[in-house]
A and B are shown apart, each in its own frame.
Chain A
Amino acid sequence: MAWYQPNRLEEAVKQAADARTVVVCGGTDLFVNWARRQGTYGEADWMSVERIPELQTISLDDTTGDLVIGAAVTAHQIASHGLCAAVPALQQAARVVGGWQIQNRASIGGNLVNASPAADMAVPLVAYDAVVALQSLGGRRRMPVRTFLRGPRQTALEPGELLTEVRIPARVLGRPQQFLRLDQRGGTDISLVSAAAVAQVDEGRVSFAQVAVGAANPVPFSLPEVDASLQGLAVADGAALRDVDGVVASVARRYAEAAQPISDVRASAAYRTAMVDVLVRRAIAGTLTFRAIAQEVEE
């Protein structure tokens, strides 16, 4: 059993090619109940990616304007970094991951690769239609988070590949947005259902809206064709929300219909389904009445 701690991406990619290598970042998923679970890893070699500079940065892409977040960036950094003020829904999600101690370790890359149906940071990323970059000795490829996540604990990551960055498209930066989650206590908890929405209102009409729902399907999901029904919706400045209630409610209902949650020790499927309806409605409503952030960022 060896422990590798590369501080250059190229070395890490080389090491990742070895089939015995298990990648670890913050370890907050991998090392839960370690004494009971270590047996399943046998004689693996370990590679920590948390000190690789390329994976630690948060930056704006000069050409595209995309926000690029390195895979090893922690929830705490996302919650407190100036550039991330442009993605408040992701910050809201980062702030509910565990508590302070977990947020100091939990990485955005780990949250995605771990692929829990209830992963919180994944939900706004799906709403944003963010893209991940995957790198191996064979090269680098990109794909949307929406397709990267395949099922519980399943992703499109191939053996030997590292997730290096998450790219949030410029078009959602600074747009009104919101992440909401339903949990059951104020201590660390897991989402029963979560939802994220990002939208833009131009001249009193919705010009852009994307929604995602977490913990209700094997992976966080979006329904672009349903989101499209929000396009052009008139939400005049200061207008009472009841004017848009009908449309928003029907979007929420369609998300609930598409949800196929499980029944488990935390909640029943029926309840989760009903909560998808509630959270989607609230997330959209909250987003459409929440414009201050957009102005701040654009100014």
Chain B
Amino acid sequence: MGNEVTVRSDVASKLRGETRYVADIHLPGELYGGVVRSPHAHARIVKVDVEKARAIPGVQAVLTADDVPGGAYGPTQFKDWNILAKDRVLFVGDEVVAVAATSEAALRAALAAVEVTYELLPAVLQPEEALAPGAPVVHDEQPDNRPMHVQLERGDVDAAFAKAHIIRGGRYTTNRIYQGHLEPIGVLANWSEEEGLTIWAPSHIPYRARETYAAAFGLPEDKVRIVVPPIGGSFGAKYVLKAHVIAAALAMAAKQPVRMVFDRYEDMLTAHPRVPLTIDIRIAADAEGRFLGKDVVVWGDAGARVYWSPNVMATACTRPDSLYHFGAVRAEGHLCYTNHSPTTCMRGFGNAEMLFAVESVIDEIADGLGIDPVEIRLRNIVRRGEVTIHGYQLDSCELEACLRQAAELSGWARRQALPPNRGLGVALGNHVSGYRGIDSRFEGSTAVARLRDDGRVEIETGEIDLGQGMSATYAAIAARVLEISVDSVIVKSGDTARYPFGIGTLASRSTVMGGNAVKLAAEQLRQQLTVFAQGEYGADVELIGGVVQSGGAAHSLAEVAARYRSRYAGDTLEVRASYRPETDFPGKDFYGNPSPAYPFAAHVAEVEVDPETGRVRVVGYWAVHDAGVVLNRTAAIGQVVGGVAQGIGWATMEDLVVAEGQVKNLSLLDYRMPGASDIPPVSVSFVEVPDPHGPFGAKSVGEVAIDPAPAAVANAIANAIGARGRHLPLSPERVWRLLHAEEEQR
């Protein structure tokens, strides 16, 4: 299984409802798996009684912590995961008992029959409280509740602030954003003594999943196989998940396949949302609006276990410093354990959060100095050829062109004369195309290219398509190298037992990392094919239009493939190539060039605010991107519009509300994602200049698409109402409160 697609077959099957997601796959004899979860944010487990549950007919396995390996493991260098909770539960939703049964009814009955006695413990729910002396300790191994502490200073920040003409800043907070993948979390697991574990898991980093799950069960990695069905949306939610581990544990115990498919309620209850950040920020500038210094302190709520929150924190503390010249920068980041469900990354990875604060403060400085927001940005942005303060090497950068074009397309000059309650806001964004810090051991990607019997070319990759058009891009790259039609390229991925190793689809890696590997493999295939054809047909062979031409005769690739087989004992012509970028691992000091190519974007949002209700409508949106050369235009536009839509939802309506550790809005009714009417027409354009390191000059686009969006919307709202919202989301009530602040104080 996994995915085998040509560009057209993939989309066509989705449109026709033929694509089989994990919930659509069944194995003979499969059991229904489920989990008894903690209803408390923090409690001691006094007693677990599973006898009644075991006695229910149809129940095939009931597991407690005593029945599963107890060693700590985890997908990052922070090893703080278990399989089931042993002594304490650390958050609402923490897994205590797992059950597998022959029917959903038996499963429900068994889950209800499990009796767990808890002794409540004080919970710590705010990062700042978690750092206070005497705070409840989440993990005994980390008594200060702070798994990560960033401390970074480049240049003399205090001196910069001392000579500043203007300083602006304040406390900004970002919200708990639920990825909102339309396909709920699901998994299917099977165990056999010979083959070990096979897990059908929609994960876009399946090799990290394999490594993590092998460690959890003490198995060698070749005894764990991850098969990746098509993924119904992730945005960061479907990396490495406890649900996969628990389904696997149940399958091992029951010796039968186990399926576990969450409904939306359970998906939201156990969600790993964006890391909510509290940001204290100050930026100093001179009288001309040139930045002199930036100083931030960030608190991040990691929840009770580490997922990808450290990367989010690192990105928040550093990334915008490679977008603007801030002069001197200082960042302190406290990533804190709390008794919340673990938080993780979502598209934008901490950068969009910090940019919300940074871009807001920049507008305040512009206001304070009477400089136009576009103009002040032009005075401070990074440009091509520069090495930024943290060592990013900008071998391509069309940020200035993006900004100028966004201003022009949006009619920025109108900003002076907008009707009341209308506002225009601008914000910029940058990102990476793969991030060296994701894995300390290696970076890059490997692809296999193979000439099939039928003359078509097969590409295998370890990266994963999420519907972002990755396979189409890879097919386009291979087709371009081999000068064959895109429809005769088949892209295969998503099975750790069959396809090459890949770090996976995160940190906007797929276009540049996987794309370069595909390009290398296709080039080598072309070369080997030519050499072989020369031996067969003569030195003058040329590969043109998918046909080998020689001495006036044309030989189809199918014919060449057949000849190759007859010469090599039935083997097929295939090559394997790895792309290894020249990047630096960002060490403790976060210095170095962590990515081969950096994409940029300038966004302008226009809003209309109902001053009496606070209801905001985004009425216009302009996004101009530097994504290098755009290889797949429809997909790139789709990425930008999708990112903007998520940014609009984030800035104006979305928030996973927690109180006392409980999520309060466990439905798509009360967790409001934008509907079709909430998104204005989005104008998307590209400034296309080739990047020297990207395949055919391409850079990434997926994450930078969302980076500026919340800030652009927030700046537009501030422009419309003359007051600044520092806490996301800017829901109708928040905006109304901003507008009626004086009345409230009275």
Chain A positions within 8 Å of B, measured between CB atoms, are: 33, 35-36, 182, 184-190, 192, 265-268, 271, 274-275, 278
**Residues of chain A contacted by B442 (CB below 8 angstroms):** none
> Of the candidates A33, A184, A268, A271, which one forms a contact with B672 in the assembled complex, judged by CB atoms under 8 Å apart?
A184
CA distance A66 to B378 in the complex (A): 67
**Residues of chain B contacted by A189 (CB below 8 angstroms):** 669, 672
Contact check, B613 vs A266: say whether CB atoms are below 8 A apart. Answer: no
Residue B239 interfacial (CB < 8 Å)? no
CA distance A295 to B477 in the complex (A): 66
Contact check, A187 vs B265: say whether CB atoms are below 8 A apart. Answer: no
Q: Contacts A36-B263, A184-B732, A278-B613 known; A266 to B670 CB distance under 8 Å?
A: yes
Contact check, A185 vs B665: say whether CB atoms are below 8 A apart. Answer: no
> Of the candidates A188, A265, A271, which one forms a contact with B675 in the assembled complex, judged by CB atoms under 8 Å apart?
A188
Q: Which of B90-112 contact A (CB under 8 A)?
A: 104
CA distance A136 to B496 in the complex (A): 65
**Residues of chain A contacted by B265 (CB below 8 angstroms):** 33, 36
Contact check, A187 vs B613: say whether CB atoms are below 8 A apart. Answer: no
Residue B736 interfacial (CB < 8 Å)? yes
CA distance A184 to B732 in the complex (A): 7
Contact check, A187 vs B263: say whether CB atoms are below 8 A apart. Answer: no
Q: How far is the CB of B627 from chain A (nearest CB, A)?
A: 29
**Residues of chain A contacted by B676 (CB below 8 angstroms):** 186-187
Residue B615 interfacial (CB < 8 Å)? yes
Q: How far is the CB of A100 from chain B (nearest CB, A)?
A: 12
Contact check, A186 vs B677: say whether CB atoms are below 8 A apart. Answer: yes
The residue on A at minimum CB distance from B649 is: A185
**Residues of chain B contacted by A268 (CB below 8 angstroms):** 733
CA distance A185 to B615 in the complex (A): 9
**Residues of chain A contacted by B736 (CB below 8 angstroms):** 271, 274
Q: Contacts A33-B265, A275-B613 known; A187 to B733 CB distance under 8 Å?
A: no
Contact check, A184 vs B665: say whether CB atoms are below 8 A apart. Answer: no
Chain B positions within 8 Å of A, measured between CB atoms, are: 104, 263, 265, 612-613, 615, 653, 657, 664-665, 667, 669-670, 672-678, 731-733, 736-737, 740
CA distance A254 to B106 in the complex (A): 55
Q: How far is the CB of B618 from chain A (nearest CB, A)?
A: 11
Contact check, A186 vs B664: say whether CB atoms are below 8 A apart. Answer: no
- Contacts A187-B673, A187-B675 supplied; 14 other A-B pairs, CB < 8 Å: A35-B263, A184-B653, A185-B673, A185-B675, A186-B678, A187-B674, A187-B677, A265-B657, A266-B670, A267-B732, A268-B733, A271-B737, A274-B740, A278-B612
The residue on B at minimum CB distance from A38 is: B108
Contact check, B613 vs A182: say whether CB atoms are below 8 A apart. Answer: yes
Q: Taking each of A189, A190, A265, which has the highest tally of chain B beta carbons within 10 Å of its own beta carbon? A: A265
Which 7 residue pairs of A and B lie closest in terms of their CB atoms, listed nearest first?
A187-B675, A186-B677, A186-B678, A186-B675, A271-B733, A265-B664, A278-B612
Q: Taking each of B675, B676, B733, which has the highest tally of chain A beta carbons within 10 Å of its own beta carbon? A: B733
Contact check, B674 vs A185: say whether CB atoms are below 8 A apart. Answer: yes
The residue on A at minimum CB distance from B612 is: A278
The residue on B at minimum CB distance from A268 is: B733
> Of the candidates B104, B675, B677, B733, which one forms a contact with A267 in the assembled complex, judged by CB atoms under 8 Å apart?
B733
Q: How far is the CB of B665 from chain A (nearest CB, A)?
A: 5
Q: How far is the CB of A19 from chain B (nearest CB, A)?
A: 25
**Residues of chain B contacted by A274 (CB below 8 angstroms):** 736, 740
Q: How far is the CB of A160 from chain B (nearest CB, A)?
A: 31
**Residues of chain A contacted by B667 (CB below 8 angstroms):** 33
CA distance A15 to B425 in the complex (A): 62
Q: Contacts A35-B263, A187-B678, A275-B613 known; A182 to B669 CB distance under 8 Å?
A: no
The residue on A at minimum CB distance from B732 is: A184
CA distance A173 to B727 in the complex (A): 46
CA distance A182 to B104 in the complex (A): 40
Q: How far is the CB of B711 from chain A (nearest CB, A)?
A: 20
**Residues of chain B contacted by A192 (CB below 8 angstroms):** 732
Contact check, B672 vs A187: say whether CB atoms are below 8 A apart. Answer: yes
Contact check, B670 vs A265: say whether CB atoms are below 8 A apart. Answer: yes
> Of the candidates A36, A184, A190, which one forms a contact with B615 in the assembled complex, judged by CB atoms under 8 Å apart?
A184
CA distance A90 to B653 in the complex (A): 28
Residue pairs across A and B with Cβ atoms less than 8 A apart, 11 shown, are A35-B263, A182-B732, A184-B615, A184-B653, A185-B675, A189-B669, A189-B672, A265-B664, A268-B733, A271-B736, A278-B612
**Residues of chain B contacted by A267 (CB below 8 angstroms):** 732-733
Q: Taking each of B657, B665, B675, which has the highest tally of chain A beta carbons within 10 Å of its own beta carbon? A: B675
Contact check, B615 vs A182: say whether CB atoms are below 8 A apart. Answer: yes
CA distance A190 to B667 in the complex (A): 12
The residue on B at minimum CB distance from A182 is: B613
CA distance A33 to B269 in the complex (A): 14
> Of the candidates B612, B665, B673, B732, which one forms a contact with A265 in the assembled complex, judged by CB atoms under 8 Å apart?
B665
**Residues of chain B contacted by A35 (CB below 8 angstroms):** 104, 263
CA distance A184 to B730 in the complex (A): 11
**Residues of chain A contacted by B740 (CB below 8 angstroms):** 274
CA distance A184 to B733 in the complex (A): 10
Q: How far is the CB of A30 from chain B (nearest CB, A)?
A: 16
**Residues of chain B contacted by A266 (CB below 8 angstroms):** 670
Q: How far is the CB of B123 from chain A (nearest CB, A)?
A: 20
The residue on A at minimum CB distance from B743 is: A274
Q: How far is the CB of B606 from chain A (nearest CB, A)?
A: 17
Q: How far is the CB of B670 from chain A (nearest CB, A)?
A: 6
**Residues of chain A contacted by B670 (CB below 8 angstroms):** 265-266
CA distance A265 to B731 in the complex (A): 12
Contact check, B669 vs A188: say whether CB atoms are below 8 A apart. Answer: yes
CA distance A278 to B610 in the complex (A): 11
Q: How far is the CB of B246 from chain A (nearest CB, A)?
A: 20
**Residues of chain B contacted by A185 (CB below 8 angstroms):** 653, 672-675, 678
CA distance A33 to B265 in the complex (A): 9
> Of the candidates A184, A186, A275, which one forms a contact with B731 in the assembled complex, judged by CB atoms under 8 Å apart?
A184
**Residues of chain B contacted by A265 (CB below 8 angstroms):** 657, 664-665, 670
Q: How far is the CB of B710 from chain A (nearest CB, A)?
A: 16
CA distance A240 to B582 in the complex (A): 71
CA distance A190 to B668 in the complex (A): 11
The residue on A at minimum CB distance from B671 is: A265
Q: How far is the CB of B32 from chain A (nearest CB, A)?
A: 12
**Residues of chain A contacted by B672 (CB below 8 angstroms):** 184-185, 187, 189
Q: Taking each of B263, B265, B612, B740, which has the highest tally of chain A beta carbons within 10 Å of its own beta carbon? A: B612
CA distance A96 to B737 in the complex (A): 26
**Residues of chain A contacted by B674 (CB below 8 angstroms):** 185-187
Q: Taking each of A36, A184, A186, A278, which has the highest tally of chain B beta carbons within 10 Å of its own beta carbon? A: A184
**Residues of chain A contacted by B669 (CB below 8 angstroms):** 188-190
Q: How far is the CB of B75 from chain A (nearest CB, A)?
A: 30
Q: How far is the CB of B264 from chain A (nearest CB, A)?
A: 8
Q: Taking each of A33, A185, A189, A274, which has the highest tally of chain B beta carbons within 10 Å of its own beta carbon? A: A185
The residue on B at minimum CB distance from A275 is: B613
CA distance A118 to B2 in the complex (A): 46
The residue on B at minimum CB distance from A274 is: B736
**Residues of chain B contacted by A278 (CB below 8 angstroms):** 612-613
Q: How far is the CB of A67 from chain B (nearest CB, A)?
A: 30
**Residues of chain A contacted by B657 (CB below 8 angstroms):** 265
**Residues of chain A contacted by B677 (CB below 8 angstroms):** 186-187
Q: How far is the CB of B735 from chain A (nearest CB, A)?
A: 11
**Residues of chain A contacted by B733 (CB below 8 angstroms):** 267-268, 271
CA distance A36 to B108 in the complex (A): 9
Q: How far is the CB of B261 from chain A (nearest CB, A)?
A: 11
CA distance A79 to B263 in the complex (A): 33
CA distance A278 to B740 in the complex (A): 14
**Residues of chain A contacted by B731 (CB below 8 angstroms):** 184
The residue on B at minimum CB distance from A264 is: B664
The residue on B at minimum CB distance from A193 is: B613
CA distance A143 to B241 in the complex (A): 56
**Residues of chain B contacted by A187 (CB below 8 angstroms):** 672-678
The residue on B at minimum CB distance from A187 is: B675
The residue on A at minimum CB distance from B614 is: A271
CA distance A278 to B615 in the complex (A): 12
CA distance A265 to B667 in the complex (A): 12
CA distance A271 to B737 in the complex (A): 8
CA distance A101 to B740 in the complex (A): 38
Q: How far is the CB of B112 from chain A (nearest CB, A)?
A: 9
